[in-house]
Structure 1
Amino acid sequence: MDAEFWHSRWAENRIGFHLSNVNPLLIKHWSVLNAQRDDRVFVPMCGKSEDLVWLAQKHDQVIGVELSDIAVKAFFAENLYTPLVTGVGHQHLYQFDEISIYQGDYFTLNIDPVDVVYDRAALIAMPEDMRQMYVEKLLSLVKTGGRILLVTLDYPQDELAGPPFSVPKADVEALFAGCKVTHLERDDADESHPRRQRGLSRFAEEVWLIEV
């Protein structure tokens, strides 16, 4: 899954993964992280998510990283924010009040360690051969004692090509083998769900607490 794939998805507005509202799973489960206002929050592959706005209402520092400049500019424009833009190496940093978004490659990101992470669309965007590298990078950015709220999908991968990809329970536990992994919720979709209507025999969203 190369950078051009994601650049083209944003350029062509093929962003079915984008939620126009705050993710209900974030609202429901964020409290389990016991995150304080001064905790640094990290959102990998943040897109133009409204989740950033919700998190910024609760925390003084919300840091995102996003490959697409289209997505980053759209986030600030749609929320009527005028960010300060500076260059940081091969990346650009957009800042407005509590929100900072690095526009560039996640794998080359260099930031101070964070306290908590919210991952709704990053791990499931990674093909299987990139997931271990993604997790190793993520854990390198999290303080010891940090927490991750992770949302994954579980469906028969041979029935539908990703992304987003299926990352079942066994894979989550293997990827975060050095951490404490707690399963918080599984929401199995009924036959009316758009993914089921596309031919999937089953489709579920799962939520995890990862303690580093």
Structure 2
Amino acid sequence: MQDAAEPPPLRSRRDLVKELSLGMVAFGADARNLTSQGNLTPAQTRRLLPAGLVAAIGGELVASMAYLAMGRWAYASAALVRQLVEVEYLAWAVTNDPDDAWEWLKSDRQTRLQRWQPGKIRQRSDGRFPNSDYHAHCEAGGHPVPEPAMNILDHRDQWVELSLYEAAVHGTATWHYLVQAVGDAPVTAAERHHRLIDEAHNVWRRTETLDRGFLSPANGSDA
């Protein structure tokens, strides 16, 4: 039974998404400032510059999903989930292999087609990122598919909450990868926001009532 003193799921989802967006945007700005000052080692720069860009992109996506949710723009918020999933992949790559991440940062179109499409990253992840999750997001807003689009538009309130749930899940994973990528670099934003995000995440996990988000059979996906 949910403790009456705890906020309801709708509130805890929004609180976590807010903290994630603030943390990632601040992380991105901090990383950019540090690398532009020239006070980091080459290894720190190669790790932090790609991580900062990934954080800045992810922060804007998460913030935009929260903004769209306020207006009940269900399809638009669902469309952004797929991009956030791809940002999570990139955050993992930054942590897993900094040299790989630097290649992405400096890549041309041909290199991205060969090595940095979502499917290519999933192959390198050794099963960390299941195909079913990504394909569910492609169907539900990631691409304009008729039946899922009608379902989203006809059930706005439900899908807004699903998108916020997905923002919480994938945003949290992205954040933790980015924090690992910091290493010994003096990114104060990571330290400052990590505690706030952890606190919001703990409340969210205690109060969350949704299960598996877009992959739930009730949402018509082919998980």
**Richer in strand (by share):** 1
Q: TM-score, normalised by structure 2?
A: 0.23
Greater share of helix? 2
Higher relative contact order (Cα pairs below 8 Å, separated by 6+ residues): 2
Normalising by structure 1, report the TM-score.
Answer: 0.24
Which has the greater radius of gyration? 2
